[in-house]
Structure 1
Amino acid sequence: FQGAIERAFELLDFTLGDPRWQKRLKEIARARELLCDAIFGGKEYKSSLENLERYFFQFALASRLRK
């Protein structure tokens, strides 16, 4: 679990540093912030890993259907 979380943050940080995503930085930074909140118990935004999984699954599904 710890390795997966570290990798998720690594990928989000790489994405934030990639100029191709310049117009989406706010959204990506918010996703990172919500992931932090979920990991630390959802105290700030009431986030949970289950809610984040449900949210991101929709994007994964849409991406898969486009191919």
Structure 2
Amino acid sequence: MSISDSIKNFLHAEKLTPSDLARMTGYTPQYIHEILSGKKRWNETTIQKTCEALGLEISVTKRKEDEIGEKGGVVV
């Protein structure tokens, strides 16, 4: 799962919209929509502001063997 998918799932569970997230982070709604849709890339600052606004924390853990894709990509 990508960070965008994780954030979208969290927003849905909390009954928040991307526009709500934009207000919470100080970004424009268009920018948040573009990040969540994959048109723009996440950067460290955007991830940090998003996590702070939503009360989230990023954790890095080793995946189980069966979660590793053919190309060895990371699942978030």
Superposition TM-score tier, normalisation by shorter sequence: 0.3 to 0.5
* Structure number, greater radius of gyration: 2
More helix by share: 1
* TM-score w.r.t. length of structure 1: 0.34
